[in-house]
């Protein structure tokens, strides 16, 4: 039932597949980026390592691919909390190699998570920091990954009067609406795992072109749960539903939220919590939606991979669990 | 969204099966994931790959020292989650998937045209059932195993069971659904259809329980070693069993193996043989309530119920008479006497005999139809009879086919859907829904109403989306997915977009083609042509150009003309189509100028039109088949009242063309233009008149 695709080297700590599942980028504790490619696109059964480069001294904790229309590039978050952007380029007579395009250095805070999104034809990168700040960077030239501009900086709070300078965040999770792109503004959802309750709950952020700023249009937490630390969030692809589906994981379990599409007079979107899934023991590490947005795959510290689906009556249930064995 | 099969490491356990979208709560299926790494695993990470494949990355925590040795640092596994019929190989599935596309697409296009043509709410008319039946038969033919064994040239007299093709479970399931939902014509003899069905597929049921089929198989093996067949109790058991389910030809064949037929025996065992033969004859004359029987099978067919009842009663009377005959006393062979009389009891519909003879409730059910209640109609009575048989002869493990049948007889569409999904997979559900929907109005409503919980789509659409996702999981089948997605009105395009966006760049040409065809078929012909040009799809562009030729010589509305014109513009004149599109461009110009003449706008228009005409007719790229239509179009020009518009040489040119045309008509491959019969005459007359006047002018 399960087929082995790639064997990873010692010290590998993270991996990410590109948009079509043909390339795998892995990061190691010693700062090495290794890329594996499929030899046979039709079967994608054999992957071999096509490059291995020691990017820096610092270990890589997360690798994120840049959307394919901007090139073959990855962003790496390292243990010290900086983000660097690397692109695979072919220059002059030299072979294909990974080159540094941009380094986002931050003095005090560490980057906890980054995600790329395409909004109104421009590439944006959202970065969440350990001091509770959120920065949105915009790519200025669509053919060059070097030039980025800081478009906005804010904190994950509904009322902007609150600012927290001494927040200590352990992790953050960002998920863009997969739909966004060419002709419209895209939104993303963001949650924190921090010691400051107001920062934690997942909020949906939308860009307001009139005032040139990002506004929180929804909060995905029930009144009693607003301070709960958020482990991870995932926005489901929408193939034609009249509402959006977003999954939010906290220590209480995984909540499935429905987000309305039409804003009310205040510009807010309606939210409804439709399920609480609580099979995972321990922390939920990652949640991924399948291409139709109907099946959610989750994994966590209990080491089990679970699949969830809703039935005809709208009730969400665990459909399968995969337990790793050696 | 996913249907999981039980193909886990622990083999064919039925506990691992799930029913997506059911309201029942079932325990979660647990599957092992063998990564082969030495623990501890420090982290997992997941990612969806094409369709329904899930990739899981395992990371080992390095121990820091060299105790790991050659251990890997981690592994990435891919799990395929498209379940369904675990018995089928990938190649088999692909063959069925490819083959199902045309029947499916044909039925959809027929429905679309039926809907657009109908002015009443229900688009279905008598023809619709025929279309569904055609669809069902097309799919059914796909499900026959191509590796079927042909019958041996020399028939083995001792071969009780003919070797037939090994059916697959999918075919059995499709068959039973066709019988109940699609085959409207045989509804009146449904019980006999079930007799045939069980005869064909009883072997499949042997996987979960004892069946008459398995009994026969094992007896056939013993047959070679038996000296005196009629002494074997198994012989008589098997005879009764086969008789009970209506396998009359097998029974008669076996009866004729009776020792009393042997030439050296027949002298002593006359009575015995007489009795055996009498039973054999009675069996072969059994009345059956059905229009026809396959060649070689026994029984007498009666279409109409009154005829059948008469024959039935007569037949039963014969059996009773034989049963009461004095000859039994003179039959020396105990087993023969007992065995034959038991068979008579079966034929008389003795419930106990039937119960003993059959192995499971389905066989008893069939026996009821044959010998007790041949005219059972209506699902309700069929269902209550089924329940009765289940009580008399319960099955310990229920085969998935039986579950399906129960759902069908129970008239429970949801159960049928759930069984299809659980036991036969997404392909089955996506394709069988058409059959289910034509079964009854309630079923149709259930399957086509929209559910908020599904995001506003119907169950029918949902299962097509699921199937499309399954198709997307394999590089060899993903191209079929768009065809199913285009029939999903609400969410098909969304999923198609995502599917296309996940294809690697090398497949771009296919994507462009798909985009082109999609736009063309959805009325956006301009976009379609544009995408096909990007894809450099010469084949389709040529085809489109050919379609444009159809317009020549037709009178078309302004709207259509504009569209036609636009397409010609797009296609450009570089297209390497038949004769080049140069002709179409000229024809377009000609038509435009003709229109101006008709509108009476400028006086120049007429002259321009004439020039266009001459240019067209002179041009070698103008296909001959269009000469007359073009000239007929220009009749008004040619018969201009004020003065002749064509000069002598021009008129002569046209006349020559007409002459050429008359010669060409004699050739066998000439294509007659679709014009009124007097067209040629009118044109000739107009030209002649013109010639006359032109000569005068000069």
Q: How far is A155 from chain B (nearest CA, A)?
A: 28
ipTM metric: 0.94
> Looking at beta carbons, which residues of chain A come within 8 Å of B30?
320-323
By CB neighbour count within 10 A (0-12 exposed, 13-18 middle, 19+ buried), where does A190 fall? Answer: buried
Q: Are A218 and A242 in contact (CB under 8 A)?
A: no
Residue B575's pLDDT band (cuts 50, 70, 90): low
| pLDDT tens, residue by residue, A42-79 | 666 788 888 898 888 889 999 999 988 888 899 999 99
CB nearest to A311's CB, from B22, B76, B476 = B22
Q: What are phi and psi of B526, to 5 degrees?
A: -60, -50
> Looking at beta carbons, which residues of chain B come within 8 Å of A29?
62
Q: What confidence score (pLDDT) does residue A295 get?
A: 94
Residue B7's pLDDT band (cuts 50, 70, 90): very low
Give the Cα separation of B445 and B9 in Å (integer).
40
Residue B44, classed as helix, strand or coil, is: strand
Q: What confidence score (pLDDT) does residue B569 get?
A: 78
Give the Cα separation of B79 and B520 in Å (integer).
37
CB nearest to B46's CB, from A43, A68, A305 = A305
Residues 6+ away with beta carbon under 8 Å from A242: A261, B455, B456
Supply the angle between the helices B538-549 and B508-521 in degrees, to the nearest 10.
20
Most confidently predicted of B324-333, B461-470, B549-558: B461-470
Burial B71-107 (b: 16+ CB within 10 A, else e): ebbbbbbbbbbbbbbeebeeebbbebbeebeebbeeb
CB nearest to B7's CB, from A1, A13, A239 = A1
Q: What confidence score (pLDDT) does residue B561 get?
A: 77
Determine what percent of chain B is predicted with pLDDT higher than 90: 26
> Looking at beta carbons, which residues of chain A come within 8 Å of B507?
41
Give the Cα separation of B341 and B323 in Å (integer).
7
Half-sphere exposure (Cβ direction) of B27: Cα atoms closer than 13 Å: 6
Judged against a pLDDT cut of 80, whether residue B21 lies above it is answered with no
Find which of B68, B77, B489, B511 to mutate to test the A interface (most A CBs within 10 Å of its CB): B77
Q: What confidence score (pLDDT) does residue A259 get?
A: 95
> Looking at beta carbons, which residues of chain A come within 8 Å of B1?
290, 292, 294-295, 309
Q: Do A319 and B48 touch (CB under 8 A)?
A: no
Residue B158's pLDDT band (cuts 50, 70, 90): low
Q: How many CB pairs under 8 A join A and B?
A: 241
Average of per-residue pLDDT across A142-163: 86
Neighbours of B526 (CB within 10 A): 14
Q: Which contacts (CB < 8 Å, 24+ apart) does range B325-333 have?
A: B327/B271, B327/B274, B327/B275, B328/B275, B330/B271, B331/B271, B331/B272, B331/B275, B332/B269, B332/B271, B332/B272, B333/B230, B333/B260, B333/B269, B333/B272
Give the Cα separation of B376 and B600 in Å (integer).
77
Average of per-residue pLDDT across B298-303: 88
Give the Cα separation of B83 and B427 in Å (integer).
10
Q: What is the pTM of this model?
A: 0.78
> Looking at beta carbons, which residues of chain A come within 8 Å of B59?
8, 12-15
- Provide the H-helix boundaries in B522-603: 525-534, 538-549, 558-571, 582-599
Q: Which residue has the higher pLDDT, B124 or A108?
A: A108
3-class DSSP string for B259-325: HHHCCCCCCCCHHHHHHHHHHHHHHHCCEECCCCCCCCCCCEECCCHHHHHHHHHHHHHHHHHHHCC
> Looking at beta carbons, which residues of chain B come within 8 Å of A313?
23, 453
Q: What confidence score (pLDDT) does residue B8 get?
A: 28
Give the Cα separation of A113 and B321 in Å (integer).
91
Residue B11's pLDDT band (cuts 50, 70, 90): very low
Most confidently predicted of B309-323, B573-587, B663-677: B309-323
Judged against a pLDDT cut of 80, whether residue A131 lies above it is answered with yes
Q: How far is B29 from chain A (nearest CA, A)?
A: 5
Residues 6+ away with beta carbon under 8 Å from A276: A252, A253, A254, A255, A256
Q: Which residue has the higher pLDDT, B547 or B37?
A: B37
Q: Which of B676, B587, B576 is nearest to B630 (CA)?
A: B587
By CB neighbour count within 10 A (0-12 exposed, 13-18 middle, 19+ buried), where does B595 fall? Answer: middle
Pairing relationship of beta strands A133-139 and A148-155 according to DSSP bridges: antiparallel
Supply the angle between the helices B525-534 and B538-549 in degrees, to the nearest 10.
140
Query: By mean pLDDT, which of A208-217, B24-33, B431-440 is the weakest?
Result: B24-33
Q: What confidence score (pLDDT) does residue A43 get?
A: 65
> Looking at beta carbons, which residues of chain A come within 8 Å of B481?
none
Most confidently predicted of A133-142, B216-225, B533-542: A133-142
Q: Do B503 and A237 touch (CB under 8 A)?
A: no
Q: Do A295 and B1 touch (CB under 8 A)?
A: yes
> Looking at beta carbons, which residues of chain B come within 8 Å of A20?
502-505
Judged against a pLDDT cut of 90, whether residue A237 lies above it is answered with yes
Instruction: Identify the closest residue of chain B to A314 by CA–CA distance.
Output: B453
Q: How far is A166 from chain B (nearest CA, A)?
A: 30
Q: What confidence score (pLDDT) does residue B397 get?
A: 81
Q: Do B56 and A299 touch (CB under 8 A)?
A: yes
Find which of B76, B452, B477 to mutate to test the A interface (most A CBs within 10 Å of its CB): B76
Average of per-residue pLDDT across A171-175: 96
Instruction: Identify the closest residue of chain B to A13 by CA–CA distance.
Output: B59
Find which of A16, A19, A21 to mutate to test the B interface (most B CBs within 10 Å of its CB): A21
Q: Which of B661, B666, B692 is nearest to B679 (CA)?
A: B661
| pLDDT tens, residue by residue, B124-142 | 566 788 899 999 999 999 9
Residue B207's pLDDT band (cuts 50, 70, 90): confident
Q: What confidence score (pLDDT) does residue B295 get?
A: 72
> Looking at beta carbons, which residues of chain A come within 8 Å of B477?
none
Stretch (H or E) spanning B462: helix B459-472
| pLDDT tens, residue by residue, B477-498 | 888 898 999 899 889 888 988 8
Mean pLDDT of chain B: 81
Neighbours of A233 (CB within 10 A): 26
> Looking at beta carbons, which residues of chain B come within 8 Å of A13?
42-43, 59
Q: Are B173 and B401 in contact (CB under 8 A)?
A: yes
Average of per-residue pLDDT across A306-310: 94
Q: What confidence score (pLDDT) does residue B204 get?
A: 87
| pLDDT tens, residue by residue, A195-212 | 999 999 999 999 988 888
What token pair was written down for A87?
Answer: 């692109």
Judged against a pLDDT cut of 50, whether residue A113 lies above it is answered with yes
Contact of B494 with chain A, judged by CB distance below 8 Å, is answered with yes
Neighbours of B153 (CB within 10 A): 5
Residues 6+ away with beta carbon under 8 Å from B173: B400, B401, B404, B420, B423, B424, B428, B432
Q: Are B486 and B492 in contact (CB under 8 A)?
A: yes
Q: Which residue has the higher pLDDT, B87 or B596?
A: B596
Give the Cα separation of B246 and B250 in Å (integer).
9
Q: Do A239 and B495 touch (CB under 8 A)?
A: yes
Q: Do B68 and A22 touch (CB under 8 A)?
A: no
Find which of B35, B79, B91, B463 to mutate to test the A interface (most A CBs within 10 Å of its CB): B79
Q: Do B498 and A237 touch (CB under 8 A)?
A: yes
CB nearest to A13's CB, from B37, B59, B75 = B59
Residues 6+ away with beta carbon under 8 Å from B560: B551
Average of per-residue pLDDT across B465-480: 89
Judged against a pLDDT cut of 70, whether residue A25 lies above it is answered with yes
B residues 25-54 lying closer than 8 A (beta carbon) to A? 25, 28-39, 41-52, 54
Judged against a pLDDT cut of 60, whether residue B14 lies above it is answered with no
Q: Do B30 and A320 touch (CB under 8 A)?
A: yes
The residue whose two tokens read 């007489």 is B274
Average of per-residue pLDDT across A227-236: 95
Q: Are B250 and B160 in contact (CB under 8 A)?
A: yes
| pLDDT tens, residue by residue, A248-289 | 999 999 999 999 999 888 889 999 999 999 888 889 999 999
Query: By mean pLDDT, which of A122-136, B299-313, B620-634 is the weakest?
Result: B620-634
> Looking at beta carbons, which residues of chain A come within 8 Å of B66?
none
Q: Do B475 and A16 touch (CB under 8 A)?
A: no
Residues 6+ away with beta carbon under 8 Å from B315: B282, B285, B286, B287
Q: Which of B369, B322, B317 is nearest to B343 (CA)?
A: B322
Q: Which residue has the higher pLDDT, B25 or B3?
A: B25
């Amino acid at each position: 039932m399960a087929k082995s695709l790639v064997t990873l080297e010692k010290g590998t700590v993270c991996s990410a597949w590109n948009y079509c599942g043909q390339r795998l980028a892995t990061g190691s504790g010693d700062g090495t980026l290794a890329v594996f490619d499929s030899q046979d696109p039709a079967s994608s059964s054999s992957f071999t390592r096509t490059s291995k480069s020691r990017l820096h001294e610092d270990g890589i904790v997360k690798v994120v691919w840049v959307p394919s229309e901007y090139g073959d590039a990855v962003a790496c978050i390292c243990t010290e909390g900086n983000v660097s952007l690397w692109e695979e380029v072919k220059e002059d007579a030299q072979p294909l190699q990974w080159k540094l395009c941009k380094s986002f250095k931050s003095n005090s805070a560490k980057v906890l998570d980054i995600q790329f999104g395409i909004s109104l034809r421009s590439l944006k990168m959202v970065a969440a920091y350990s001091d509770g700040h959120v920065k949105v960077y915009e790519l200025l030239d669509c053919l060059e990954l070097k030039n980025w501009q800081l478009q906005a900086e804010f904190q994950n709070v509904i009322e902007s009067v609150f600012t927290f300078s001494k927040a200590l965040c352990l992790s953050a999770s960002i998920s863009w609406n997969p739909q966004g792109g060419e002709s419209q503004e895209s939104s993303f959802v963001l949650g924190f795992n921090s010691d400051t309750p107001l920062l934690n709950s997942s909020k949906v952020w939308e860009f307001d072109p009139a005032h040139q700023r990002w506004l929180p249009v929804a909060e995905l937490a029930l009144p009693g749960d607003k301070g709960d630390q958020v482990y991870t969030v995932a926005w489901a692809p929408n193939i034609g539903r009249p509402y959006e589906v977003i999954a939010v994981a906290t220590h209480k379990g995984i909540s499935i939220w429905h987000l309305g599409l039409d804003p009310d007079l205040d510009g807010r979107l309606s939210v409804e919590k439709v399920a609480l899934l609580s099979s995972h023991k321990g922390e939920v590490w990652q949640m991924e939606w399948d291409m139709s947005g109907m099946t959610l795959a989750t994994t966590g510290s209990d080491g089990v991979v679970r699949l969830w689906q809703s039935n005809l009556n709208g009730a969400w249930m665990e459909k399968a669990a995969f337990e790793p064995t050696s | 969204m996913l249907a999981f099969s039980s193909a886990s490491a622990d083999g064919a356990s039925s506990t691992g099966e799930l029913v997506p979208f059911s309201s029942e709560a079932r325990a979660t299926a647990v599957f092992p994931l063998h990564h082969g790494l030495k623990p501890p695993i420090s982290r997992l990470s997941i990612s969806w790959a094409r369709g329904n494949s899930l990739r899981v990355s395992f990371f080992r925590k390095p121990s820091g020292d060299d105790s790991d040795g050659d251990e890997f640092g981690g592994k990435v596994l891919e799990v395929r989650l498209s379940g369904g019929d675990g018995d089928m190989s990938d190649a088999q599935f692909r063959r069925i998937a490819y083959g199902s596309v045309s029947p499916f697409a044909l039925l959809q296009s027929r429905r679309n045209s039926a809907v657009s043509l109908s002015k009443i709410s229900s688009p279905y008319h008598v023809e619709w059932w025929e279309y569904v039946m055609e669809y069902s038969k097309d799919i059914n033919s796909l499900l026959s195993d191509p590796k079927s064994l042909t019958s041996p040239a020399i028939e083995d007299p001792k071969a009780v069971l003919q070797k037939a093709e090994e059916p697959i479970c999918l075919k059995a399931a499709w068959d039973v659904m066709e019988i109940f939902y699609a085959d409207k014509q045989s509804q009146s003899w449904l019980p006999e259809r079930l007799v045939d069905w069980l005869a064909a597929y009883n072997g499949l049921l042997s996987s979960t329980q004892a069946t008459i089929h398995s009994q026969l198989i094992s007896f056939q093996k013993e047959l070679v070693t038996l000296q005196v067949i009629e002494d074997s109790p198994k012989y008589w058991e098997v005879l009764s069993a086969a008789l009970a389910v209506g396998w009359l030809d097998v029974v008669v064949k076996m009866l004729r193996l009776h020792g009393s037929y042997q030439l050296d025996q027949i002298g002593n065992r006359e009575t015995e043989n007489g009795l055996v033969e009498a039973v054999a004859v009675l069996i072969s004359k059994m009345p059956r309530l059905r229009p026809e029987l396959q060649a070689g099978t026994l029984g007498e067919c009666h279409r109409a119920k009154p005829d059948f009842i008469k024959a039935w009663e007569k037949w039963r009377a014969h059996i009773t008479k034989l049963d009461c005959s004095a000859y039994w006393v003179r039959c020396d062979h105990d087993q023969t006497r007992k065995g034959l009389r038991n068979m008579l009891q079966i034929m008389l519909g003795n419930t106990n005999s039937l119960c003993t003879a059959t192995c499971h409730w389905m066989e008893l059910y069939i026996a009821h139809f044959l010998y007790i209640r041949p005219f059972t109609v209506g699902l309700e009575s069929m269902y209550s009879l089924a329940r009765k048989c289940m009580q008399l002869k319960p099955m310990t493990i229920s085969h998935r086919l039986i579950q399906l049948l129960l759902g069908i007889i129970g008239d429970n569409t949801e159960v049928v859907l759930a069984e299809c999904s659980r036991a036969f997979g997404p392909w089955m559900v996506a394709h069988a829904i058409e059959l289910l929907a034509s079964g009854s109005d309630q079923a149709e409503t259930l399957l086509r109403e929209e559910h908020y919980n599904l995001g506003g789509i119907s169950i029918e659409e949902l299962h097509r989306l699921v199937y499309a996702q399954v198709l997307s999981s394999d590089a060899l089948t993903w191209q079929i997915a768009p065809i199913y997605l285009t029939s999903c009105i609400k969410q098909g395009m969304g999923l198609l977009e995502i599917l296309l966006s996940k294809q690697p760049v090398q497949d771009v040409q296919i994507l462009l083609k798909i985009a082109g065809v999609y736009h063309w078929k959805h009325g956006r012909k301009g976009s379609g042509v544009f995408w096909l040009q990007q894809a450099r799809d010469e084949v389709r562009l040529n085809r489109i150009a050919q379609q444009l030729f159809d317009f020549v010589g037709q009178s078309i509305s302004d709207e259509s003309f504009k569209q036609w014109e636009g397409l010609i513009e797009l296609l450009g004149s570089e297209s390497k189509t038949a004769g080049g599109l140069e002709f179409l461009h000229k024809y377009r110009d000609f038509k435009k100028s003709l229109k101006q003449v008709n509108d009476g706008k400028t006086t120049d228009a007429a002259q321009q039109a004439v020039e266009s005409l001459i240019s067209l007719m002179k041009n070698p790229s103008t296909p001959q088949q269009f000469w007359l239509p073009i000239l007929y179009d220009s009749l008004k020009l040619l018969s201009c009242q004020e003065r002749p518009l064509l000069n002598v040489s021009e008129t002569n040119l046209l006349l020559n063309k007409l002459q050429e045309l008359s010669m060409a008509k004699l050739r066998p491959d000439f294509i007659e233009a679709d014009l009124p019969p007097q067209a040629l005459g009118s044109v000739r007359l107009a030209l002649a008149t013109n010639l006359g006047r032109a000569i005068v002018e000069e």
